[in-house]
Chain A
Amino acid sequence: MSTTLHILSHSPFSDLRLSSCLRVLNADDALLLCGDAVLALQADTAHSAALELMPDSIGLFVLAEDLAARSFIDTVPARIRIVDYQAFVDLTLAFDKVNSWT
């Protein structure tokens, strides 16, 4: 089965993109949070809990710049990997498809 990198940039508190995305993720897919989607990492929220419950095979990433802009750096769960733009480019090549939830 082909693998997909899903990219989210909308706040999970304003629409259902994150929850919809988590439902359709396949076992070896990954999710990159950027922009206001970083707010899903806010501690003690249903969104961060849902992310932590995702199977280990699903890669969870966050764009460093957007994370720093929201001062969430200290509350990022251990399994979330922080990536810069160079790693973002590499990520898009590590999966067969890239899907932006626009």
Chain B
Amino acid sequence: MKFAIAVFSSPDQPSNRRALRFAEALLAAGHTLERLFFYQAGVHSASAHVVSPQDELDLPKAWLQLIQQHQLDAVVCIAAALKRGQLNAEEAQRYARSGHSIDAPWELSGLGQLHEAAQSADRLICFAGP
């Protein structure tokens, strides 16, 4: 079956970790993960600037590894990311900011990508809140 996952919470929320564990479980069961969409505070999952304490799960790193390992389509809402200071090189140049925090394979794009994923997947599972 085809899944899409939307993550609305930042990596310091338990729901962000549940989204990761759910994604791992569905892939392990042989299902397809059509798209990961990161919205609202979920955009921080894509930041290469997050430094996690040594005794805590490094969620941005774990997401990146899962995305690379399974070559997943990982989309970050561009408007939600920009207003939270999470930019890729292209946006940093566009808005004359001194650095960027998001690199490939993460992709900055619009909310239409969430809509499209909701249409094409059998299930859209949302993770938000605590």
Contacts and interface: CB of A to CB of B under 8 A. Distances in A.
Contact of B126 (A63, A85, A93, A102): A102
Interface residues of B, number: 23
A102 B128 contact: yes
A89 B29 contact: yes
Given A9-B130, A10-B130, A102-B129, A88 B22 contact: yes
A26 to B, nearest CB: 18
B28 A86 contact: yes
B15 A93 contact: no
Interface string A53-71: 0000000000101100000
B15 A9 contact: yes
B15 A98 contact: no
A9 B126 CA distance: 12
B24 interface: yes
Nearest to A96: B123
Interface string B70-101: 00000000000000000000000000000000
A30 to B, nearest CB: 14
A89 B31 contact: yes
A75 to B, nearest CB: 21
B22 A35 contact: no
Contacts of A36: 130
A86 B15 CA distance: 16
A52 B28 CA distance: 33
A100 B25 contact: no
B21 A85 contact: yes
B123 A93 contact: yes
Nearest to B27: A89
- Across the A-B interface, give the 9 residue pairs with the lowest CB-CB distance, nearest first: A102-B128, A85-B25, A100-B126, A89-B26, A89-B25, A85-B21, A86-B25, A102-B129, A35-B130
